Amino acid sequence: MQEVAYLNGRFCRLEDAKVSIEDRGFQFADGVYEVLVAHHGQPFRLAEHMIRLERSLKELDLTFDPHAYGLERVIHEGLDRSGFDHTLVYIQITRGAAPRAHVCGDDLVPTVVVTFKPLAPVPPERRERGVAVKTVEEVRWSRCCIKSISLLPNVLEKNRAAREGFFDAIFVTAEGEVRETCSANVFIVKDGVARTPRADEHILRGVTRGYLLECAARAGVPAEETPVTRAQLFNADEVFLSATTFNVMPVTRIDDHPIGDGKVGPITRRLYEQCLAGIGSVLAACVIA
């Protein structure tokens, strides 16, 4: 097993992958990315990740066709080469390299990077006890639905949160509307109903978020996509986050305020179990096929 990189048509060791200092991703954050996981060599929800990647590319007017390029083939080959049981796959597409100028020509060749690393396990105590998050002012641009590599506000707030002992930070507007965290979507549970902010231009349309809405339907948990306010967040019976790298993360404290009884709630546990069951059934179907 080894960490592997793919760069512009060839596989190599991670440390051997180099891009030009004039790459527009490096100089302007002019690019998009996608993150997915694979279990025992099987990418989870690959089609949904490719759809989101295509949407981000279109929003940036970045001409690149993942299917014509054979990106799915690259992913499968990289998984075979790396050989991890649980793999984190990172994809980044930039507009390419050119002399630094805001305006560039239409003839640039996109830079294509894919890396394959072991997926870090979630510490068991986080599953059992939940995590603490903080709220912060929403200061990002109005197109957070694009999975852009320009993540400076997210990075700054996540690092501040970590230094203060929090797992993540939730962006809340001046009007009190809950958006998402620096790297995850937000769900609340009140009176047995799971609610998550609508997937509009202000939040990322999380693949795992969508999967959990399906899990809720299978588990018999009512779920809604609806605006969530700061007051609803703090008065929720349960709060949890969703993301590709951890599926479901229980939140038991926000700022200095315990959520519910301060313990991981039953619906959070039920949805996590349903999530794992769904992943297991997909893997089983792949083996049978």
pLDDT higher than 50, residue 188: yes
Q: State the DSSP H helix or E strand holding residue 94, giving kind and residue range, or none if neither.
A: strand 86-94
Position 281 scores a pLDDT of: 63
Model pTM?
Answer: 0.93
- Quick check: is 147 catalytic? yes
C-alpha 278/C-alpha 57 separation (Å) is 29
- Segments making up each domain of the chain, as ranges: 4-118, 124-280
The fold adopted by the segment(s) 124-280 is D-amino Acid Aminotransferase; Chain A, domain 2 (3.20.10)
pLDDT higher than 80, residue 288: no
Band (pLDDT 50/70/90 cuts) for residue 132 is: very high
Across 130-146, average pLDDT: 96
| Helix (H), strand (E) counts: the chain | 9, 15
Q: Tell me how crowded residue 85 is: count the other CB atoms within 10 A of its CB.
A: 11
Rounded CA Rg of the chain: 20
Across 101-125, average pLDDT: 94
Of the chain, the percentage scoring pLDDT greater than 90 comes to 94
Position 282 scores a pLDDT of: 55
The fold adopted by the segment(s) 4-118 is D-amino Acid Aminotransferase; Chain A, domain 1 (3.30.470)
User: What is residue 69's three-state secondary structure?
Assistant: helix
pLDDT higher than 70, residue 142: yes
Position 2 scores a pLDDT of: 94
Marked catalytic residue, from 147, 158, 190, 263 = 147
pLDDT higher than 50, residue 114: yes
pLDDT higher than 90, residue 54: yes
Across 235-264, average pLDDT: 97
pLDDT tens profile 144-170: 999 999 999 999 999 999 999 999 999
pLDDT higher than 70, residue 271: yes
Across 279-284, average pLDDT: 63
Q: Tell me how crowded residue 257 is: count the other CB atoms within 10 A of its CB.
A: 12
